[in-house]
Amino acid sequence: MIEGLITPKKARSAPWSVALLSFIFVSFGIGMFMLYQGIEGGVVVLAMLPAIPLIWYLVMGEEKIEADELEKYYGTYYAIFPEQRPTRKNYAFFTYHKTLLIVFSFFFLGAVIAYAIWFAYLPEDAAKNHFASQITELCSIRKSTGMPWIDCKSWMSAHKQKESAYVSFKENEFTAILKNNLGVLGAMFLFSLLYGVGAIYLLLWNASIIGVFIGSVARVQGLQGLFLGFFSLLFHGVFELGAYFIASIAGGIFSVALMRRHFLKRGFEYLLLDILILTLIAVFMLVIGALIESSY
């Protein structure tokens, strides 16, 4: 029922509403996990399930819009009126994708806010129990700076995890960050390609990681910690998260195009070109994000 609160058309015309919906999805997932704690990764998995229909139809619509434009470009309309045919120089690349990027951004933002608030205000034992995987991940990548509210050394020892060798700005840290982020990017593209909406899990996983970090700051500094934690991640996070959104869209469009056998239609090579451009933009954004993050 809750997945039908906002239609794909409504999401495109009022993307801010998607933030509210993702907040509800995450809250629903955490609430269900409190009742059924045997589900591994439940705070992410149970939030993902109601989001699948909306994201799937958004990605399908994105691919259809572009495929229809390409068909029109090569179809009978411009055969009759060749003087009105647009040139590929005037091909508005972001016209097709900016709306979905905005929708993904609001979806992610709503999820981050929900995870941050839940982690900040749950009782201590519940917060550590429900978000144990996220805390472990954060401690493993923040050895040099640590975690607010969490004693990472004790946590990693108690959970028998090895700490990663992150240091302050050096070339090897930039390489390590970029390598890790490229791995996430590749996984998102592959998940989206194989399943269409498979990247939703990784988007929500990253949202939970960021939300737990922001929530941990809030547990120490109060309400203002929500804002301080958010802005501390803003500069490099914009590039990294933007890259993940773009990769998810590229993989999803490719998946739907293959499913609909659009590779048999005219102009399919331009759809592939779009996917390549999206992927290259995502990689470039990751490089910028890694440079910024490793300079802290």
How confident is the model at residue 281, as a pLDDT?
A: 92
How confident is the model at residue 66, as a pLDDT?
A: 56
Amino acid at 228: L
CA distance 55 to 100: 10
SS3 167: coil
For residue 154 the two structure tokens come to 């004790």
CA distance 274 to 280: 10
CA distance 108 to 195: 19
For residue 151 the two structure tokens come to 């004693």
Closest C-alpha to 195, from 259, 113, 291, 278: 259
CA distance 234 to 212: 15
How confident is the model at residue 89, as a pLDDT?
A: 45
As averages over each run of 10 residues, the pLDDT of the chain (296 residues) reads 64 84 93 82 88 75 58 50 48 60 87 94 90 86 66 74 47 79 87 73 87 89 77 81 84 75 66 85 92 79
Task: Please give the model's pTM, rounded to 2 decimal places.
Answer: 0.76
The residues facing 147 across adjacent strands are 150
How confident is the model at residue 81, as a pLDDT?
A: 45
CA distances from 4 to 33, 104, 179, 240 (A): 21, 17, 38, 30
Number of C-beta neighbours around residue 261 at 10 A? 9
- Contact predicate 5/25, CB 8 Å: no
Close Cβ partners of 272 (under 8 Å, ≥ 6 residues apart): 254
How confident is the model at residue 167, as a pLDDT?
A: 43
Close Cβ partners of 148 (under 8 Å, ≥ 6 residues apart): 216, 217, 219, 220, 221, 225, 229
How confident is the model at residue 80, as a pLDDT?
A: 46
**Backbone angles phi and psi of 150, in degrees to 5:** -110, 130
How confident is the model at residue 142, as a pLDDT?
A: 64
Reported as a single tens digit per residue, the pLDDT across 211-250 is 998 998 888 888 777 777 777 777 788 898 888 888 887 8
Close Cβ partners of 186 (under 8 Å, ≥ 6 residues apart): 247
How confident is the model at residue 160, as a pLDDT?
A: 60
